[in-house]
Amino acid sequence: MHKKTNRGKEVKTYHFLPYKYNRHLLFDIGRIETLENYVLDDSLHQLSFYEIIFIEEGTGTLSIGDKTISLSKESIVFTSPGQTRRWAIEKDITGYVLFFEKDFLDLFFFDDLFLYRFQFFHQYVHPPALKPDEYFFNQCLHLIQTITQEFSCLLHDSDHLIRALLYQLLITINRLYSKTYNLQDNGVIHSDFQKFKLLLEKEYTVNHNISSYTKLLNISPKTLNRLCKQYSGLSAQQMIHQKLISEIKKELILKKSAKEITYTFGFSDPSNFNRFFKRNTGITPQQFQKEV
């Protein structure tokens, strides 16, 4: 499935193994309870690829960043690359897991924004999880089982069929996710908003103000704020702050010091960083570290 490397003594990182099936295939699928080397313990870790978990049975929690997701029958959980995770299993988890590299879809559709069109990936406002009804969950399982059947006998064009089925699955899930959290359908989202989301993932450590992004996008602050309000419910500056806080919390979970975070995220000094964090969370970085 994947291999792991250690970044110092901080967090394990698991990488995708593209030649598992003796061909370059940037997608994999399997049963959680039988998949070899699947990480299901309480160690802090992160993935360098996308993962969607379909839980048929079992209970517990999965911490993703600073959010704790309750695991239960017929639930779906999403992980984006670089998010820290930690399992706390109460009753054995069974179900399916699928994972893929960004290029599996991006290169085929010639679209760097492709995966940003799905609301459940790179999500730091709403929970990266769904609790659908039985009918919807079974719809997803039908697509998953069709993909699994294709994996049992890979042909020269199997990757195209798998990609098509994955695309159908992602769209189906995105519709429910958007409806559940009252989000705008990504099918009609303005391209400048999607570009802003992609820029935010790349620039958040160095660009903290809306003016930096409007210059890169060549649009006015008023236009960007209107788009952000329309598609996320937040202003552009609020989205920037939400992203910063989400990533800072990840570093605090890894026990990074205020001085280290100040340098990494481009704050002028630790006191400025501390004020920013408390203003946006209501607690100090030190209090947050004690609570997690």
Whole-number percent of the chain with pLDDT over 70 = 93
> CA 47, 248, 225 angle in degrees (round to 5)?
100
Average pLDDT score over residue span 153-174: 92
pLDDT for position 8: 40
pLDDT for position 65: 82
**Residue of 34, 119, 35 lying closest to 78 (CA atoms):** 119
Whole-number percent of the chain with pLDDT over 90 = 47
SS3 196: helix
pTM, two decimal places: 0.75
pLDDT above 80 (res 1) = no
Alpha-helical segments (H) within 117-190 = 134-151, 158-180
pLDDT: is 180 or 116 the higher one? Answer: 180
pLDDT for position 6: 45
CB atoms inside a 10 Å sphere around CB 134: 9
Question: For 119-150, what is each residue's pLDDT tens digit?
Answer: 898 877 789 999 999 999 999 999 999 999 99
pLDDT above 80 (res 113) = no
Mean pLDDT value across the chain: 87
pLDDT for position 7: 43
**Structure token pair of residue 272:** 């400025």
Work out the pLDDT band at 71, boundaries 50, 70, 90: very high
pLDDT above 70 (res 169) = yes
